[in-house]
Structure 1
């Protein structure tokens, strides 16, 4: 076994987890700010953004703990977070499509209050949520695929005893 095949998956696992953590922090911050500001104005926040905030927070905690214990990964959890982040991405894309951000920058809510600062910032912030939710989904898919590949490769190896399924990297 070469050093590249030993250390490359470990380095990639750390890079993937750091990027997952960064994406989750950005999505949690923007969507959480919206939910908090909407609550301050006695507006019920959109359920899609509550869902996106919960999924991003869950992704943040999972990526943080996997980063702390970077040899440990749970392939079903990575695959589940891929699906959940993809669903959150779909919710945000549906919302942005109805806002008309591609056509007009003067989106205003029914309370005459900008929930995310200046008028032109609103579409940019939701575009950032859309982008980083998709990036997080792809990174969780990459983590699951890499861990599955490493397990498959480990099962083909005849040297030594295979490690447990949760300790594959």
Structure 2
């Protein structure tokens, strides 16, 4: 059980870091969009909302109690939300003239495309962390709720002894 708690803390810390990076980059994009450069305002706001929810929940659930494993359905929902954010970021790459989706060459100037692709990468990593946390939570929850050998009755009947 101690190993699962350590893995859970590691996953929650990874979720926090990825969400904080995406929150910072998306806030920068929203600032740039507001000051006239144009861009995907709706996608950016969606990512900011998901990142805020992720930062708060990962900080709260980083506390190592057993109840943190019972929230695995919410972990799965946040994983799906991060995969949707990743898809929204990838889909906009074609309109932004930043090259292909997986074309990572020439990203050293610190420009708009570099930050967009970094946001895309951290959104995908965050989705993977939330999915791994879902799998760990489901495993711990179902392992903990499994009945012992002493609590089962034989052939579905009560024992009269």
Q: What TM-score do the two structures reach when normalised by structure 1?
A: 0.75
CA 1:15–1:70: 2 relative to 1, 3 Å = farther
Contact 1:39–1:45 (Cα < 8 Å) also in 2: no
SS at match of 1:145: helix
- How many residue pairs match? The answer is 143
Unpaired segments ≥5 residues, structure 1 = 1-5, 105-117, 162-169
Question: Which structure has the larger Rg over C-alpha atoms?
Answer: 2
SS at match of 1:67: coil
Correspondence for 2:96: 99
Contact 2:19–2:52 (Cα < 8 Å) also in 1: yes
Is it true that 1:146 corresponds to 2:143 in the alignment?
no
Q: How does 1:71-150 map to 2 (within 5 A)?
A: 71=66, 72-73=68-69, 74-102=71-99, 120-150=110-140
RMSD over aligned CA atoms reads 2.6
Is it true that 1:23 corresponds to 2:18 in the alignment?
yes
CA 1:44–1:100: 2 relative to 1, 3 Å = closer
SS at match of 1:140: helix
Q: How does 1:31-70 map to 2 (within 5 A)?
A: 31-41=26-36, 46-68=41-63, 70=65
CA 1:99–1:154: 2 relative to 1, 3 Å = same
Q: Which is worse superposed, 6-15 or 62-71?
A: 62-71
